[in-house]
Amino acid sequence: MKVLVVEDEIELQQTIVQFLENEKIIAETASTFSEGMDKIISFDYDCILLDIMLPDGDGISLLKELKKLQKKTAVIILSAKDSVDDKVEGLLVGADDYLAKPFHFAELFARIKVAMRKNHQQGEEIISYKNIQLFPDDRRVLINNQEIKLNRKEYDLLYYFMLRPERVFQKTTLAESVWGDHIEFVDSLDFIYSQIKNLRKKLKEASSEADLQAVYGVGYKLV
């Protein structure tokens, strides 16, 4: 899971990031409206935590721009403004949830999971494809009802593909989604091939009915 934190209070922003990373979530940040716009245009996120009051704009306007891009991204508004009108406006524009500051991180994490489930998993706690079952809450994978052991990145890759079966993804998209946006500065994406090779081997050894197929010159897809 990759989350964008759009928050201008740097101390709070970094505290949220540290919490998310402890929960094995990739967290990117933006401190202004313009930075947030650059991020949502350039990259894809599973969830955006969005402050309403930003130095050079407001979160509602950013949310409207996100909806124009037609990206399937869960949005949770985080704001010190707790009026009913603000909540209603945010939800009508397309936010999935609204959490008033200050908040408990356990509640924030629970709301992220619910918003993600609604957006990508159709409310289900199990994601299934062929004979593979993936349990996001405890990061388990079963094939033919037998658990297989995956390292963190192998699991993250499989999770990403399982949410989007049959779709082809470029190496850069996979790298940004599983390792973070900073990956655009690396010289080589050869590590993607290594992780996918290892994941394919584990799927095959477990008699998976699905496989990660290379699409020459483009990327990979789950078939």
Res 122: pLDDT = 53
Predicted confidence band of residue 64 (pLDDT cuts 50, 70, 90): very high
Sequence-distant (≥ 6) Cβ neighbours of residue 70 within 8 angstroms: none
pLDDT band with cut points at 50, 70 and 90 for residue 3: very high
pLDDT band at 184 (very low <50, low <70, confident <90, very high): low
Last residue of a domain, one of 120, 145, 166: 120
Give the three-state DSSP class for 127.
strand
Asked if 137 and 201 sit in the same domain, the reply is: yes
- Residue ending a domain, among 120, 138, 159, is 120
pTM of the entire predicted model: 0.69
Read off the CATH number of the domain in which 69 is found: 3.40.50.2300
* First CA to last CA distance, the chain: 21
Q: Percentage of the chain with pLDDT > 70?
A: 94
> 49 with 3: CB under 8 angstroms?
yes
Q: In sequence order, what are the residues at sequence separation of 6 or more whose Cβ sits closer than 8 angstroms to the Cβ of residue 10?
A: 31
Residues 205-217 have a mean pLDDT of 94
CA distance 133 to 124: 12
Regarding whether 174 and 102 lie in a shared domain, the answer is no
Return the CATH number at 209: 1.10.10.10
Q: Which stretches of 6-138 are DSSP H helices?
A: 10-22, 33-42, 59-68, 84-93, 105-120
Q: What is the mean pLDDT of residues 214-219?
A: 89
Note the pLDDT tens digit of each residue in 14-55.
Answer: 999 999 999 889 999 999 999 999 999 999 898 999 998 899
Domain range enclosing 58: 2-120
Question: Each residue of 115-141: pLDDT tens digit?
Answer: 887 776 555 578 889 999 998 878 899
Total count of domains within the chain? 2
Phi and psi at residue 157, to the nearest 5° = -65, -45
**149-178 pLDDT per residue, tens:** 999 999 999 998 998 899 999 988 888 888
**Distance between CA atoms of residues 1 and 109, nearest Å:** 12
Domain end call among 88, 120, 152:
120
Looking at residue 61, its pLDDT comes to 92
**Residue 155 is inside which H or E element, if any?**
helix 152-163
pLDDT of residue 177: 82
